[in-house]
Chains A and B, each alone.
Chain A
């Protein structure tokens, strides 16, 4: 047992040090998987622990401590994206270039592997998928994750995001198209997935 661990064990309940000992690895992985930058992940975990410490009286035990901390971290990541994230116009312009003035294809979308299941066995695919998901504007990503990834019902997703169903679908469509464009550009395993 190192010094740090000894300190954690002597900490009182709710101490940020204990949270870090009990949930630090989970928080770290969660942040790193979403921002892909160890320095930023470190900063976000630290901010989350401090925020949790300041708001410790609001924790009523209706969720587990880990869920509560991950929720705070999730908010910190969304907030960071909101402050720093810019929509990626690169993909929009690619979409526009794809068709000629008559609306017919001028750049072939390329051929992706026929068997998605085989591609999804490959860790590189998920690395690329995660990276592309992280590049989406936060409002678009939230809608996509709720509806497509978590399979939340449309009405519940609209209530969570405070938007209309039509708006939700616009965001989901935009996210799906952007992910397609991003994967085609960034993951060589999908070659010839030309943009």
Chain B
């Protein structure tokens, strides 16, 4: 277990940038080993674009955690069903359910 985390550290700190996004997701989901976590942190210290990507993925995660509340709130302030839509639906539902 320890050995594999050390391996994860070296892998995360030395892998090319294209291999880092899956590690970033694992870190955000709290599924990464301490080796991956530490190695990625080390890589992010040195790599600006990866640091930006990590910030952006974290941003999306935070937004997702607020999305339920926000989308429901938005749904309550957007317009009610327009009268003509309501009338058309009533008419069609009557026709079909008769």
With a cutoff of 8 Å between Cβ atoms, the chain B residues found around residue A108 in the complex are: 48-49, 52
Say whether B74 contacts A172, CB under 8 Å: no
- Find residues 66-98 in chain B having any chain A CB closer than 8 Å to their own CB: 66-68, 70-71, 74-76, 78, 80-81, 83, 85-90, 92-94, 96-97
A85 part of interface (Cβ distance < 8 Å)? no
Determine whether the beta carbon of B16 is less than 8 Å from that of A102. yes
Interface segment, A25-33, A61-69, A86-94? Answer: A25-33
- In the assembled complex, B46 has its CB within 8 A of some CB on chain A: no
Interface contact A42-B88, CB-CB below 8 Å: yes
Chain B's interface size range is 35 or more
Given A4-B90, A176-B61, A184-B56, verify A103-B29 contact (CB < 8 Å): no
Q: Which residues of B contact A103 (CB under 8 A)?
A: 15-19
Q: How far is the CB of A93 from the nearest CB of chain B, in Å?
A: 14
Is B7 interfacial (CB-CB < 8 Å)? no
Picked from A16, A144, A177, the residue with its CB within 8 Å of the CB of B21 is: A177
Contacts of A38 in B (CB 8 A): 85
Q: Are A46 and B92 CB-contacts (below 8 A) given A172-B25, A177-B57?
A: yes
Cβ contacts B1-31/A at 8 Å (1 or 0 each): 0000000000000011111011001001101
Tell me whether B67 and A149 are in contact (CB under 8 A).
yes
- When chains A and B are docked, how far (Å) is the Cα of A150 from the Cα of B29? 14
Q: DSSP majority for the A interface?
A: helix
| Assembly CA distance A28 to B89 (angstroms) | 11
Docked-complex contact A169 and B31, CB < 8 angstroms: yes
Q: How large is the interface on A (under 10, 10 to 19, 20 to 34, 35 or more residues)?
A: 35 or more
Q: Is the CB of A130 within 8 A of B71?
A: yes
**With A104-B17, A109-B56 in contact, is A120–B74 under 8 Å at CB?**
no
Q: Are B86 and A20 in contact (CB under 8 A)?
A: yes
B56 touches A180 (CB 8 A): yes
Q: How far is the CA of A38 from the CA of B59 in the complex (A)?
A: 30
| B89 pairs with A45, CB closer than 8 A | yes
- Tell me whether A173 and B49 are in contact in the complex, defined as CB-CB below 8 angstroms, given that A49-B89, A126-B71 are known contacts: no
3 closest A-B pairs by CB: A103-B16, A103-B18, A28-B81
Given contact pairs A116-B59, A130-B71, a sample of 13 additional A-B residue pairs in the complex whose CB atoms are under 8 Å apart: A30-B75, A49-B93, A104-B17, A112-B52, A112-B55, A126-B67, A126-B74, A149-B67, A169-B31, A173-B22, A177-B25, A179-B64, A193-B56
